[in-house]
Chain A
Amino acid sequence: MDVAPFISFLTRYWPVFVDGLQITAFVAVLAAPAAFIAGILLVLPAVSGWKGLAAVVRGFVELMRNTPLLVQIYLLYFGLPLLGIFWGAITCGVIAIALQHGAFLSEIVRAGIQSLSVRQWEAGQSIGMRRFAILRLVILPQALIKVTPALGNQLIVLVKDTSLVSAIGVMDLTLTGKVLIERSGMSFEVFIAVALFYLILTTSLGIAARLVETFVARRYA
Chain B
Amino acid sequence: MTAPLERGADTILALEDIHLSYGELHVLRGVSLTVRRGEVVVLIGPSGGGKSSLLRTVNVLQPITRGRILLEGEEISAGGVDEDTIRQRVGMVFQQYHLFPHLTVLKNLTLAPRRVFREPAAEAEVRARELLARVGLSEKAGHYPDQLSGGQQQRVAIARALMMKPSVMLFDEVTSALDPELVGEVLGVMKDLAKSGMTMLVVTHEMGFARDVGDKVVLMAEGVVVEEGPPSQVLVDPKSERTRQFLARTQHA
Residues of A with Cβ closer than 8 Å to B?
Answer: 117, 119-120, 122-130, 133, 137-138, 141-142, 145, 219-221
Q: Report which of B99, B101, B112, B144 forms a contact with A128, defined as CB distance below 8 A.
A: B112
- Give 12 A-B pairs besides A126-B87, A130-B84 with Cβ atoms closer than 8 angstroms: A119-B94, A123-B98, A126-B61, A126-B92, A127-B88, A127-B91, A127-B112, A127-B164, A129-B116, A137-B111, A141-B102, A145-B102
For A123, list chain B residues within 8 Å (CB): 94, 98-100
For B89, list chain A residues within 8 Å (CB): 128
For A130, list chain B residues within 8 Å (CB): 84, 115-116
Q: Are B98 and A142 in contact (CB under 8 A)?
A: no
Q: How far is the CA of A119 from the CA of B116 in the complex (A)?
A: 19
Q: Are A125 and B101 in contact (CB under 8 A)?
A: no
Q: How far is the CA of A141 from the CA of B103 in the complex (A)?
A: 10
Q: Taking CB as reference atom, which chain B residue is nearest A143?
A: B102
Q: Taking CB as reference atom, which chain B residue is nearest A130?
A: B84
Q: Are A119 and B102 in contact (CB under 8 A)?
A: no
Q: Mark B112-131, 1 if CB is under 8 A from A, else 0.
A: 10011000000000000000
For residue A78, give the distance in angstroms from its CB to the closest CB of chain B.
Answer: 45
Q: Does B11 contact A (CB under 8 A)?
A: no
Q: Report which of A119, A128, A219, A220 forms a contact with B98, defined as CB distance below 8 A.
A: A119
Q: How far is the CA of A17 from the CA of B195 in the complex (A)?
A: 75
Q: Are A129 and B100 in contact (CB under 8 A)?
A: no
Q: Does B192 contact A (CB under 8 A)?
A: no
For A119, list chain B residues within 8 Å (CB): 94, 96, 98
Q: How far is the CA of A205 from the CA of B112 in the complex (A)?
A: 36
For A117, list chain B residues within 8 Å (CB): 98
Q: How far is the CA of A124 from the CA of B163 in the complex (A)?
A: 13
Asked, given contacts A122-B61, A133-B115, A221-B146, whether A128 binds B85 with beta carbons under 8 Å apart, the answer is yes
Q: Are B61 and A125 in contact (CB under 8 A)?
A: yes
Q: How far is the CA of A28 from the CA of B102 in the complex (A)?
A: 29
Q: Which 5 A-B pairs have the closest CB atoms?
A: A128-B88, A123-B98, A127-B112, A126-B92, A128-B87
